[in-house]
Amino acid sequence: MGDILDQNSIDALLASVETGSTEGEIDLPPKIFGRIKRDPETTEIKSYDFKRPERVSKDQMRALQTVHEAFARNFGASLSGFLRTIVEVKVAACEQMTYSEFTSGLPNPTCFNLIESEGLEGQICMEISPLIIYPIIDRLLGGNSQELFIPQRPLTIIEGRLISNVTNRGLSALSEAWANVKALEFKTASTESNPQLVQIVPPNEVVVVIGFELKMGARAGTMNLCIPYNVIEPVVEQLSSQNWFSLSKQQKNREVEMALTRNLSQAPLELTGILAKTSMTIGDLMTLSVGDLIVTETPANKPVVVCIEGENKFFASIGQHKGHRALKIVATAGESK
């Protein structure tokens, strides 16, 4: 009977649980366990949620956001030309979450596209809100979208065909944006209306969700790109900011150099051969007439100066080639005239 607690002891235990302290409790200094000894007072400690592990680093998230900002610009320009009106596309959010959290926040029905690429394992989701889908369809069919009613139903076959022209342009812009990281060609595998019926990864799998905002006139909507971690895991190391930006800069420099070389090689230049030079007074110039001779101090056998766009570049000798007057380059001149 000695192990049985009385009511006073039970009340004391409950009170200690509520206050978080017990009588006789000793406050021990915090310790950090690891291979390297660290000072708890100078070491920054952050809370970690094992239910939502952050598998993509901050640098890689910034690189992903930069890649899809380029995608947003290209996609907006492509849609503006296709719809003959200004369409603004910009990145609204870029975050990590579980796949179940992503699908639970989507409307039903919606335009839910499953995208795949030969260079990646698995599928990517592209969801476009009906709030912007139906104004785009109305625009394609000649409407002005001012008093458009947004129906709460899945897309018909005809509407799906019309929207496929939009998604194909989006996939083309996505491939162009990812070209700096890896050459990928995206294509639509299937289209669904209920996102809850699509399980491309387990519900607790970590995904990267890039949210976009689309504006077309007075209409606006959202677009979400869901990238599971296991899909981009083979290329995730290439997304570090230093490697990605250096690769992008080198590729951009090569492209600019090739474009400049190609354009400059087709540019016309004026080439002039100066036989001789002399000076005279304005009075002599005014009395010149047909048949007069102008005497110079340049010998006839002296090389001719060849000028390109007014700059002295070469010395050449005068001759003929296949019945035409010709200049044969014999030496290189200085930069000065």
Give the DSSP letter string of 255-288: HHHHHHHHHHHT----EEEE-------HHHHHT-
Query: ∠ CA 226-249-262 to the nearest 5 degrees?
Result: 115
| 222 in the same domain as 74 | yes
pLDDT value for 42? 76
Residue 107 has what DSSP assignment?
-
Residue 146 inside a domain? The answer is yes
| 214 in the same domain as 65 | yes
Q: For the domain that residue 184 is a member of, what is the CATH number?
A: 3.40.1550.10
Residue 37 inside a domain? The answer is no
310 φψ region: left (φ > 0), alpha (ψ -120 to 50), beta (else):
left
Checking if the pLDDT of 53 tops 70, the result is no
Count: domains in the chain: 2
Checking if the pLDDT of 133 tops 80, the result is yes
Confidence of residue 252 (pLDDT cuts 50, 70, 90): low
Over residues 167-175, the mean pLDDT reads 90
Q: Which two tokens stand for residue 85?
A: 């009106």
Residue 115 inside a domain? The answer is yes
Confidence of residue 335 (pLDDT cuts 50, 70, 90): very low
Q: pTM for this structure?
A: 0.57
| 335 in the same domain as 197 | no
Domain that holds residue 316: 270-275+300-337
Residue 257 inside a domain? The answer is no
pLDDT value for 337? 42
pLDDT value for 210? 92
